[in-house]
Amino acid sequence: MSETLEQSAGRFDTVLIANRGEIAVRIQRACRELGLKTVAICSEADRQAPYGKTADSFLCIGPSTAAKSYLNQDAILLAARLAGAGAIHPGYGFLSENAAFADAVEKAGLVFIGPTASSIAIMGDKISAKRAMMAAGVPCVPGPDTALPDDPATIERIALEIGYPVIIKAAGGGGGRGMRVVPKADVLHEAIALTREEARKAFGSRSLYMEKFLEHPRHIEIQVICDDHGNAVWLGHRDCSMQRRHQKVVEEAPAPGIAPDIIQPVGLACVQACLQIGYRGVGTFEFLYEDGAFYFIEMNTRLQVEHPVTEMTSGVDIVQAQIRAAQGHVLDLIQGDVTCEGHSFECRINAEDPGTFLPSAGVVTHLALPEGPGIRVDTHIHAGYKVSPYYDSLIAKLIVHAPTRAEAMARMREALAGTEIEGISTNISFLRALFEDGPFAQGETDIHYLEQWLKLRRAA
Ligand code: ADP
């Protein structure tokens, strides 16, 4: 390593984790294993959080409402200064894809554990992301890489050129919101007006774009990791087609039935795109896959909820690699070293009613978690833990790894059978039923499968 790299590496020794829940536990563990000190933060609702007790410092930064705590940039920066943190890890959600926050962190003389503010800004706007991806040779969903104009006649012409059905999407959209499918021309203008209004209210920008609506795609994504020195690798692929309301419920790696010669050029194009935009840290390129072709939809410039399935198959600790990249270290991995061993599934265990999916808050009165070879549980809850109504309902991630997909499914069935959470409602019974389902076991089900399966179950 050259002298300059040596000097720049290891730029911090204390990390403030600007998040909560299972990911706060996961990041804290990675920091400790790297010999770094940690600062945990919490809102008033999270004062009893277990990761507060195991952190080197623990600060309450505001009231329970996320806007006044986990989204309060000034409070987080003040906590970092008070606790002597040299870096901030944003986790996922909250401020993780907020370019202004990344910028404020760097301006405060701290390291943002993630890409630069400009990478976040490019990828945060789905239109500029699409433009950057097209320029890098990444295959995209048919449709222009420019915002829709206001002129109704031009909009109609664009829709005709793409061919119905089309989908209208907010450039600043996220979390499955700000999208509307348009099956035919007579509802086009109404859909545009509704989505524009929604986008303006939810994302502060009325900018929209249009693309082909793919009717039976699978959701397949590629995990990348890059350093500050022009090195980037992709760590294989995941299938996240099991979605409800555009939200992922079960993820797996690798995506079943995808031949290496089909995915290889896509992975390499993602790496190329990272090098072109000077990307740093971890990121995910999300694609729709239909009839043998991949179409880019968006890039997540952060650690993702489903990163563990790739950790299980690649053997790479993605959170540690992300932190080391932020420290300025050279990636200790080349593409030729990356392998994919066996098969992994992740189930998102949510505190919600398994029938209505309404969030369920309350005290966990009894907790039993599965153990054994190839089983991993990422969680922050324990018996006596109070699930608060203020935040996302994710309370645990159940992850399994086995040599084959069939064995991984069997292992997940066992793991789910051994999971007991009482005192609150969870989606465990629904997950158990899903892992008994024939077509899912066969693999290669599309993004609509879960919703259809739920409809049939309700009707039965
Ligand atoms: P978000 O940022 O809100 O998650 P994405 O662009 O990632 O939005 O899309 C979320 C989901 O919406 C996808 O996983 C897919 O289910 C659906 N979707 C998005 N674009 C299309 C499209 N062009 N055709 C069909 N489905 C789509």
Structure confidence by residue, pLDDT tens digits, 417-432 = 999 999 999 999 999 9
Nearest CA to ligand 1 atom 22: 213
Which whole-number Å values give the CA distances from 28 to 18, 25, 349, 426, in the listed order?
Answer: 11, 5, 21, 26
CA neighbours closer than 13 Å in the CB half-sphere of residue 442 = 6
Q: Ligand 1 centre and the CA of 454: distance in Å? A: 20
Asked about 302 being catalytic, the answer comes back as: yes
β-sheet bridge partners, residue 289: 218, 294
Nearest CA to ligand 1 atom 13: 246
The two three-digit tokens of residue 318, written as one number: 């993605």
* CATH superfamily of domain region 142-212: ATP-grasp fold, A domain (3.30.1490.20)
Q: Ligand 1 centre and the CA of 169: distance in Å? A: 9
Residue type, 355: G
β-sheet bridge partners, residue 344: 253, 401
With a cut of 90, say whether residue 311 has pLDDT above it: yes
- Could you identify the atom of ligand 1 that is nearest to the CA of residue 243? 16
Give exposure, 82-118, as e/b (b: 16+ Cβ within 10 Å).
ebebbbbbbbbbbbbbbbebbbbbeeeebbbbbbbbe
> Residue 8 has what pLDDT?
52
6 band by pLDDT with thresholds 50, 70 and 90: very low
Nearest CA to ligand 1 atom 12: 246
Ligand 1 site, residue 304, Cβ cutoff 6 A: no
CATH 3.30.1490.20 residue ranges of the chain are 142-212
7 band by pLDDT with thresholds 50, 70 and 90: very low
Q: Ligand 1 centre and the CA of 386: distance in Å? A: 33
Q: Which of 285, 323, 283, 321 is nearest to 303 (CA)?
A: 283
Cβ atoms of residues 166 and 182 within 8 Å: yes
- Could you identify the atom of ligand 1 that is nearest to the CA of residue 178? 3
Instruction: Indicate the angle between helix axes 99-107 and 73-83, nearest 10 degrees.
Output: 30
Q: Ligand 1 centre and the CA of 297: distance in Å? A: 7
174 band by pLDDT with thresholds 50, 70 and 90: confident
CA pair distance 168, 100, nearest whole angstrom: 26
- Could you identify the atom of ligand 1 that is nearest to the CA of residue 248? 14
Ligand 1 site, residue 176, Cβ cutoff 6 A: yes
For the stretch 71-98, pLDDT in tens is: 999 999 999 999 999 999 999 999 999 9
Mean pLDDT of all residues in 178-191? 96
Ligand 1 site, residue 450, Cβ cutoff 6 A: no
Which whole-number Å values give the CA distances from 177 to 9, 174, 216, 244, 359, in the listed order?
Answer: 39, 6, 19, 13, 18
Nearest CA to ligand 1 atom 19: 297
Nearest CA to ligand 1 atom 9: 176
Ligand 1 site, residue 246, Cβ cutoff 6 A: yes
CATH 3.40.50.20 residue ranges of the chain are 3-113
Ligand 1 site, residue 297, Cβ cutoff 6 A: yes
**205 — phi, psi (to 5°)?**
-145, 135
The answer regarding whether domain 3-113 maps to CATH 3.60.40.10 reads no
CA pair distance 248, 457, nearest whole angstrom: 19
With a cut of 70, say whether residue 328 has pLDDT above it: yes
- Could you identify the atom of ligand 1 that is nearest to the CA of residue 177? 3
With a cut of 50, say whether residue 342 has pLDDT above it: yes
With a cut of 80, say whether residue 9 has pLDDT above it: no
For the stretch 352-399, pLDDT in tens is: 999 899 999 999 999 999 999 999 999 999 999 999 999 999 999 999
For the stretch 32-69, pLDDT in tens is: 999 999 999 999 999 999 999 999 999 999 999 999 99
The two three-digit tokens of residue 415, written as one number: 């793991």
> Residue 272 has what pLDDT?
95
CA pair distance 183, 198, nearest whole angstrom: 19
Q: Which of 435, 291, 405, 299 is nearest to 344 (CA)?
A: 405
Nearest CA to ligand 1 atom 16: 246
Percent of the residues in the chain that have a pLDDT greater than 90, as a whole number:
94
- Could you identify the atom of ligand 1 that is nearest to the CA of residue 212? 23
CA pair distance 83, 55, nearest whole angstrom: 11
Give 218-459's CATH code, choosing from 1.20.1630.10, 3.40.50.920, 3.10.450.50, 3.30.470.20: 3.30.470.20
Between β-strands 343-350 and 394-402, what pairing exists: parallel, antiparallel or unpaired? Answer: antiparallel
Distance of CA 94 to the CA centre of its chain: 12
Q: Ligand 1 centre and the CA of 167: distance in Å? A: 9
Residue type, 224: V
Which whole-number Å values give the CA distances from 119 to 93, 218, 297, 325, 348, in the listed order?
Answer: 17, 27, 16, 15, 29
- Ligand 1 pocket test: pick from 240, 241, 288, 445 the residue with the most ligand atoms within 8 Å of its Cβ: 288
CATH 3.30.470.20 residue ranges of the chain are 218-459
Give me the catalytic one of 26, 196, 206, 302. Answer: 302
Nearest CA to ligand 1 atom 17: 246
For 145-154, 168-177, 218-227, 407-416, which range has the lowest pLDDT when averaged over its residues? 168-177
- Could you identify the atom of ligand 1 that is nearest to the CA of residue 297? 6
- Ligand 1 pocket test: pick from 179, 286, 298 the residue with the most ligand atoms within 8 Å of its Cβ: 179
Q: What is the pTM of this model?
A: 0.95
